[in-house]
Structure 1
Amino acid sequence: MANFYAFLSNGLTSALENDGSVDWFPCPRFDSPSVFTKLLDREGGHFAVRPLVEYVYRKEYLGNSLILESEFKVKDGKRLRLVDFLPLSLPGIIRIYESEISFYAEIKPSFNYGLIKPGVEVREAGLIFKNPTSKEGIEVLVHGDFQIEGDRILLNPGKGYLYLLYSKDLRYGLFSQKGFVYSKPYEALERALKYWRGQLEKARKAKIFEEEFKRSLLVLLGLIYTPSGGIIASPTTSLPEIIGKERNWDYRYVWVRDASYSAEALLKAGLVLRGRDILSFLTSMIDPSSKSFDHPFYSVDGTAPPAEEEVPWLEGYRGSRPVRIGNGAYLQVQSDIEGAYLHALYEYYKATGDKEFVRDVWWAIEAIANWVKNSWKEKSTDIWEQRGVYEHFVHTKVMNWVAMDRAYKLAEEVGVSRPEWKEVAEEIREDVLANGYSERKKSFVRYYGSEEADAALLTLPLYGFVEARDPRFISTLERIEKELSVSKGLLLRYREDFIGEVVNPFTLVSTWLARVYVRLGKTKEAVETLKRLVECSTDLKLMAEHYERGACEPMGNFPHVFPHSGLIMAVTEIEEMGNGNYG
């Protein structure tokens, strides 16, 4: 397992930390400009706490939480213990320490992704870093035995804390006359720990992959922007799929597809209210008079997503350029996402029997059904968001079928007659079977007229489009296993795309494969596939969008909702459908 960054969150924003250094911290929310950007540039700024001499470092989460406990042990056996967390409801970082040694804290914020260097004001109890172009700033309140040396603080043995808070306007900050209203660090720690543990206590308990299951749930919960209920795909931007290459994207937004998967996973795990929060956010985005989802993703507050821009002053993660903010996929028309949403909504109804909620969102169901009914014959981009590529993608057509099928079933549940929706669903199904299957290759294909395989075809039995034991799917599965496997349990999503050759396995695909195996009665193979996936997770059981081929290093944005939601769904299905035989 790779020693990689810890993920900290408070439902507003997040931080990535390793070896005592916070190297990524957008403020005041997930999709804001970062004030610590060392993740993407060696000079990008950080908040580091470390001993003055050589040490051995270890880290772990504090119980079932997103609170990090670190220990630095020096040669004579003395220790520095550090507890780091983001206080609930505040764009801040609290670092509580208990130390037998002297150590230092180095604080180097810079605004707008490292572009704007701050002015520094030294106070008796800490530091203030001011953005010279606005009223925003970073304040650091220090408690303990310390001396301030520029932007570096020397701390002597004992107990204390460093309390960092971002303020959009420093007139209301920690050192202002209003400062007394903000969290008290020890109380904030107690409340944050109680909050995360309380969230997890409501979830089902897994018998297999117990720790990975819990961690995956915490990742999903930590990626929810609590004021709106929207869940971002990942808290980072521009972590590359391949080191040194241009496959770098910004994922700090609410993708309809990713959010729908996450809602389904939370529902399966018994966190019904959190799943419904995500569905409610997505419902509020639906346009009843046009394409149901105008954009494939949205900002965390529900506004239209930002245009994609490059940030040329950052060198990129391990030299991988360009660094991007915003995402050009907002220009795409993605026709599979309505099906993903309606499937999650249908799963919510199956889990709760909540007809009142279905009736309340009936306008959205009807809008989607009408849109898909009139648009499903058109070409579209696909689940993989290739730029400038429009085809009759089989996965997209299947999701059109899902949309019409789930709309019809939900209509029946609330006593509304819509037989024409069922007829359209059957028409789509017949079209896919006629045009999306290659007799020569004996498999379903990536798009009409193609003979390529695509890992997204693994979802056909997961949505009930075909039975897993259908000979047409079995031969498709065999082809995917043969052509897309990188190693046992790790697969590519396809061989090549609009940029070129695809190199690294896509973690979501492993969870799809495990779920297919469950439906084939191959529980042992399902468990082995998940074992391989989690073997490549980090030391804290976090998973990225990709793994580096042959090395198990996390690649792509991190952590990502796809593998974590996929693992949750795979584990619950193994336990529910595997008849207790876990291999």
Structure 2
Amino acid sequence: MSDTSLENGLIGNSAIGALVDARGRIVWACLPRFDSDPVFCRLLNPADDEEGGAFSINLADFAHAEQEYIRHTAVLRTRLHDSHGGCIEITDFAPRFRLHGRIFHPSMLVRRVALVSGNPRISVQIDPRFEYGEFKPVITSGSHHIRYVGPSTVLRLTTDASIHAVLESRFFHLHDPLTFILGPDETVQASVASTGREFLDQTVAYWQDWVRTIFIPVDWQHEVIRSAITLKLNAFDDTGAIIAAMTTSIPEHPDSGRNWDYRFCWLRDAYFVVNALNRLGATTTMERYISYILNVVSAAEGGVLQPVYGISGEARLLERFAPALAGYRNMGPVRVGNLAYEQIQHDVYGSAVLAATHMFFDSRLQHPGDANLFHQLEPLGHKAFTHYNQPDAGIWELRGFTRVHTYSSIMCWAACDRLARIAKRLGLEERASFWRDSADRIHADICAQAWDESRQAFTASWGGDSLDASLLLMNEFGFLEADDPRFTATVEAIERELKRGDFIFRYVERDDFGHPEHAFLVCTFWYVYALHALGRKEEARACFERLLACTSKLGLLSEDVNQATGEQWGNFVQTYSMVGLVNCALRLSRRWDQAY
């Protein structure tokens, strides 16, 4: 599919999400929730039909298009122009607003099409697929609706457009506005036009009201607001989980085989996501995410945490291939599920404790941490102390071998360190002393085992000789002060060995799939953190500006970037990357009293 790219807009409502391409086609949408069957899967190219798996509104004699969000919302507008001066506008959104004292966010997509100028002709082509591209729907219709029936899912389209024109994908002149409501097999009670207008008005008002409640910096306000909305869209309201990305199997670089399903919740993300939400003032989303993590901790068998969980807290994420989908630009395989849940990653204990620490220090929260919660967290500290010097797969989930990863050890230290701080705040002096002693013992061991005197750097693993971009975070977690010469030396070593052009690679050594070819975006955001901590603030701002240049036209980021061309790769829209943008902007911006 030569026109397939990640230049897509994200719409959603914290129950579902969808990607709309630059020509206004819905090319990805999982219903009825983030990790469900992608009923629109054109982004991953149905193997038997390159045009299938999309909801398209086609303009005859198409010439060009432009796209933008309605200001401070998750409502997307696409204008399509024909070669005769005609123009139509497509407005796409998923309803979200307050209704009857709660948030109304159905598994529903709404599309409104209006005439802007000229005498354009359009056709509507709706071609969902089911069971990851395996089945085309059985189609039935009524006077104002079309049902798309799959093996386990039924979708209903309600519209005021000609039903036969839609069924036949026939071109017709657009005069009056048209509304398309796609969702569960339920009757729309009021007229579709009035329902669409009301849902649009209330959804726009919801998002614009929400944006007014968050904290933004003086600089890069537009970028931070878009990132904040995106984080909200990647949050699953029902449980509080925040997914890593909306998609599965977008390769990290061409034909790499590094195609993973990211529609799940990784504990490694917890600290960064919670920190960003806290700084933005999005405390409700933050508290629900922490609650999700604590529920996962409580359900963990034997207190052993996995790296990744399903959005309802599911532990088993069995991985399989979806052969009916050829993959992004025909670069399969397409994976469903993620075997990373079976891996051993000791950093997860620190990630969970770091996230929960906010409960004890942020008095805005509805359910502040107390001694009971502290005692619930202590087993995580014991696990961290037991495993800090044991081999694991590491933060990058190496599948072929294990070793004692320095990052994992540091996160185990962080678990004990934060438990000591929490105990002190609660006045539990004996427990504070116990956890401080534990943290100090881990700290001394890491410094003895992971510092390479000959290279003047902390290495990726104990006794190893390679570097890892995650060590840029040693100051972020408080493991080393910014003025510690070992931190400075490690950052300089990473600059020498992992920097390619403007970007930092997570590592450069060969792994299970060969040598990485594209930069993992969040690592360069971490580099900005480190530059800022070291007082190299002008360099930090310049590096951040180069990262901002990588965003799509709509301000969104994926997982990876081709450092030579700037093209985005990897799963999209990537929470890790958007969080990195927020955290950098909030650090680097001028103060408000310097703005005018």
Same fold (TM over 0.5): yes
Q: Is the 8 A contact 1:44 1:113 kept in 2?
A: no
Shift of 1:574: 2.1
Q: Is the 8 A contact 2:217 2:590 kept in 1?
A: no
One of 439, 442, 453 as aligned partner of 2:467: 453
Alpha-carbon distance between aligned partners in 2 of 1:355 and 1:30, rounded to the nearest angstrom: 27
Residue identity matched to 1:36: F
SS state at 1:440 partner: coil
- Deviations 1:468-504 (CA, angstroms, capped at 9, x unpaired): 221112111111111111112x111000322210110
Q: Is the 8 A contact 2:179 2:192 kept in 1?
A: no
One of 237, 244, 251 as aligned partner of 2:248: 237
Give yes or no for the alignment of 1:393 onto 2:405.
yes
SS state at 2:19 partner: strand
Q: Is the 8 A contact 1:511 1:566 kept in 2?
A: yes
Residue identity matched to 2:13: N
Alpha-carbon distance between aligned partners in 1 of 2:162 and 2:69, rounded to the nearest angstrom: 27
Give yes or no for the alignment of 1:15 onto 2:18.
yes
One of 330, 343, 348 as aligned partner of 1:332: 343
Shift of 1:288: 7.5
Q: Is the 8 A contact 2:123 2:165 kept in 1?
A: no
Alpha-carbon distance between aligned partners in 2 of 1:310 and 1:3, rounded to the nearest angstrom: 22
Alpha-carbon distance between aligned partners in 1 of 2:301 and 2:162, rounded to the nearest angstrom: 62
1:442 maps to which residue? 456
Alpha-carbon distance between aligned partners in 2 of 1:22 and 1:386, rounded to the nearest angstrom: 34
1:93 maps to which residue? 109
- Equivalent positions of 1:147-546 (< 5 A) are 147-148=164-165, 150-152=167-169, 154-167=171-184, 170=185, 173-174=186-187, 184-287=195-298, 292=303, 294-347=305-358, 349-352=360-363, 357-359=368-370, 361-417=373-429, 418=431, 419-488=433-502, 490-496=503-509, 497-546=511-560
Q: Is the 8 A contact 1:48 1:107 kept in 2?
A: yes
Alpha-carbon distance between aligned partners in 2 of 1:501 and 1:338, rounded to the nearest angstrom: 29
Residue identity matched to 1:8: I
Alpha-carbon distance between aligned partners in 2 of 1:526 and 1:47, rounded to the nearest angstrom: 42
1:120 maps to which residue? 139
Shift of 1:85: 0.7
- Deviations 1:260-307 (CA, angstroms, capped at 9, x unpaired): 321111101111221111101101110477554532121111222420
- Deviations 1:84-121 (CA, angstroms, capped at 9, x unpaired): 11123222211111114221111001111111111112
Shift of 1:555: 0.5
SS state at 2:177 partner: strand
SS state at 1:7 partner: strand
Alpha-carbon distance between aligned partners in 2 of 1:355 and 1:280, rounded to the nearest angstrom: 11
Residue identity matched to 1:491: I
SS state at 1:361 partner: helix
1:142 maps to which residue? 159
How has the CA–CA distance of structure 1 residues 394 and 152 changed in structure 2, closer, same or farther, with 3 Å as cutoff?
Answer: same
- Equivalent positions of 1:31-42 (< 5 A) are 31-41=35-45, 42=50
One of 113, 127, 130 as aligned partner of 1:108: 127
Taking structure 2 as the reference length, the TM-score comes to 0.91
Greater Cα shift, 198-207 or 105-114: 198-207
Alpha-carbon distance between aligned partners in 2 of 1:465 and 1:430, rounded to the nearest angstrom: 11
Residue identity matched to 1:309: R
Taking structure 1 as the reference length, the TM-score comes to 0.93
Alpha-carbon distance between aligned partners in 1 of 2:412 and 2:234, rounded to the nearest angstrom: 28
Residue identity matched to 2:63: Y
Q: Is the 8 A contact 2:211 2:225 kept in 1?
A: yes
Alpha-carbon distance between aligned partners in 1 of 2:193 and 2:419, rounded to the nearest angstrom: 47
Q: Is the 8 A contact 2:488 2:534 kept in 1?
A: no
Alpha-carbon distance between aligned partners in 1 of 2:498 and 2:166, rounded to the nearest angstrom: 55
SS state at 1:112 partner: coil
Give yes or no for the alignment of 1:79 onto 2:87.
yes
Shift of 1:16: 0.8
Unaligned segments of structure 1, at least 5 residues: none
Q: Is the 8 A contact 2:6 2:569 kept in 1?
A: no
One of 46, 61, 64 as aligned partner of 1:53: 61
Shift of 1:332: 0.7
Shift of 1:537: 0.9
How has the CA–CA distance of structure 1 residues 247 and 156 changed in structure 2, closer, same or farther, with 3 Å as cutoff?
Answer: same
SS state at 2:389 partner: coil
SS state at 1:226 partner: coil
Alpha-carbon distance between aligned partners in 2 of 1:525 and 1:125, rounded to the nearest angstrom: 59
Residue identity matched to 1:127: I
- Deviations 1:433-476 (CA, angstroms, capped at 9, x unpaired): 00001011110000011111110010001111011221112111
Alpha-carbon distance between aligned partners in 2 of 1:235 and 1:505, rounded to the nearest angstrom: 20
Shift of 1:349: 3.8
SS state at 1:225 partner: coil
Alpha-carbon distance between aligned partners in 2 of 1:251 and 1:279, rounded to the nearest angstrom: 20
SS state at 2:474 partner: helix
Greater Cα shift, 358-367 or 347-356: 347-356
How has the CA–CA distance of structure 1 residues 309 and 572 changed in structure 2, closer, same or farther, with 3 Å as cutoff?
Answer: same
Percent of aligned pairs with the same amino acid: 27
SS state at 1:540 partner: coil
SS state at 1:501 partner: coil
SS state at 1:286 partner: helix
Residue identity matched to 1:27: L
How has the CA–CA distance of structure 1 residues 420 and 353 changed in structure 2, closer, same or farther, with 3 Å as cutoff?
Answer: farther
How has the CA–CA distance of structure 1 residues 384 and 242 changed in structure 2, closer, same or farther, with 3 Å as cutoff?
Answer: same
Alpha-carbon distance between aligned partners in 1 of 2:193 and 2:57, rounded to the nearest angstrom: 23
How has the CA–CA distance of structure 1 residues 291 and 384 changed in structure 2, closer, same or farther, with 3 Å as cutoff?
Answer: farther
Alpha-carbon distance between aligned partners in 1 of 2:222 and 2:182, rounded to the nearest angstrom: 32
Residue identity matched to 2:542: E
SS state at 1:341 partner: helix
Shift of 1:147: 4.8
How has the CA–CA distance of structure 1 residues 305 and 531 changed in structure 2, closer, same or farther, with 3 Å as cutoff?
Answer: farther
SS state at 1:273 partner: helix
Greater Cα shift, 139-148 or 296-305: 139-148
Q: Is the 8 A contact 2:359 2:369 kept in 1?
A: no
How has the CA–CA distance of structure 1 residues 208 and 34 changed in structure 2, closer, same or farther, with 3 Å as cutoff?
Answer: same
Unaligned segments of structure 2, at least 5 residues: 97-104
How has the CA–CA distance of structure 1 residues 374 and 358 changed in structure 2, closer, same or farther, with 3 Å as cutoff?
Answer: same
- Deviations 1:54-75 (CA, angstroms, capped at 9, x unpaired): 2210001111111110111223
1:130 maps to which residue? 149
Shift of 1:531: 0.6
